[in-house]
Amino acid sequence: MNQVPRSHLVGVALAPVALACGLLAAGCARGEAHAIPTGEQLYAACESCHGARGEGNVELSAPKLAGLPAWYLTRQLQRFKDGTRGAHPDDEKGLRMRAMARQMMSDAEVEAVVTYVAAMPDVDVILTLPEPDLNAGQADFAACAVCHGEKGEGNESIMAPRIAGLNDWYVAAQIRKYRTGIRGGAEGDDVGAAMREMANKAVAPERINNLAAYIQRLPG
Ligand code: HEC
Ligand code: HEC
């Protein structure tokens, strides 16, 4: 059973792999010893939502991935997998992504797809929030810069990701999710908890869109 070549299991979608993994748990545990699909092959399963260039898709609420660093991508995929992110019953969009992440069986596969995504050139995304007050956004951003950097470039040492250039609609949605604990509220999520506190303290609800629009325009 353990001899089933992994190449037979590699399809464009990851579903068959996950199914086989369920049936062949022992083989899967040793999965890393076998050839794994390339990051590009694995990304085929992500493309329908996140786009071929990692540009994201507002209709599907799937954010842009291009421009995000490998350490953060890895961490988030792990979090979707273990339920620290995307498992809250009210997190409709997180649940969509969680289903995907759970199909990623091995650390080696996560690493392969992350290497591929992290190498994508950054892409500009269209602004979606109408008539933001960018001055208000800039003023509120000062509190965020402490962790995310003056240009929103991120700071790995405190696990604060790059946020510059993220989709405005996505940033606004994440801030709202942190505020209610739909994100960052899971037990043991200390890092998320820090961000939750900021989302509640540093910006008033009616100013979230301004802040998100300002962040999307940051060059990083
Ligand atoms: C069914 C659509 C769908 C597919 C397929 C999908 N995703 Fe997602 N992904 C989403 C959605 C929706 C979100 C936003 C979740 C949220 O709002 O918290 C997301 C979020 C993410 C995030 C978090 C981004 C951030 O800035 O924190 C990463 C990383 C990610 N996806 C990677 C992937 C990878 C890699 C794949 C392929 C293995 C993939 N996704 C496949 C829908 C999808
Ligand atoms: C105390 C440090 C700290 C401050 C200040 C802070 N953040 Fe964060 N932020 C974090 C950390 C850590 C994470 C990663 C949390 C996680 O993995 O869920 C994060 C995550 C985020 C994300 C999710 C990014 C993504 O790709 O999904 C957004 C958006 C964000 N912060 C926006 C802000 C904004 C806007 C402010 C200012 C109002 C702010 N942050 C202030 C630490 C901070």
CA distance 201 to 197: 6
Q: What is the CA(42)–ligand 2 centre distance, in A?
A: 28
Rg (CA), the chain: 18
Per-residue confidence at 211, pLDDT binned at 50, 70, 90? very high
The confidence score (pLDDT) of residue 34 equals 62
Q: Is the pLDDT at 5 greater than 80, yes or no?
A: no
Confirm or reject: Cβ of 203 under 6 Å from ligand 2: yes
Closest ligand 2 atom to Cα of 76: 17
pLDDT in tens, 45-88: 999 999 999 999 999 999 999 999 999 999 999 999 999 999 99
Domains and CATH numbers, the chain: 6-118 (1.10.760.10), 134-217 (1.10.760.10)
For residue 112, what are the contacts with CB-CB under 8 A and spacing of at least 6? 36, 37, 38, 39, 42
Confirm or reject: Cβ of 159 under 6 Å from ligand 2: yes
Whether the CB-CB separation of 33 and 77 falls below 8 Å is answered with no
Q: What is the CA(85)–ligand 1 centre distance, in A?
A: 11
Ligand nearest to the CA of 204: 2
Whether the CB-CB separation of 88 and 183 falls below 8 Å is answered with yes
Residue nearest to atom 8 of ligand 1 (CA): 97
Query: Which of 17-26, 157-166, 203-212 comes out lowest in average pLDDT?
Result: 17-26
CA distance 171 to 88: 18
Q: Is the pLDDT at 3 greater than 60, yes or no?
A: no
Give the CA distances from residue 88 to residues 53, 67, 104, 120, 143, in Å, rounded to whole numbers and listed in that order.
29, 27, 20, 30, 27
pLDDT in tens, 141-173: 999 999 999 999 999 999 999 999 999 999 999
Nearest partner of 195 among 206, 207, 210, 183, judged by Cα: 183
Whether the CB-CB separation of 7 and 35 falls below 8 Å is answered with yes
CA distance 198 to 1: 51
Confirm or reject: Cβ of 202 under 6 Å from ligand 2: yes
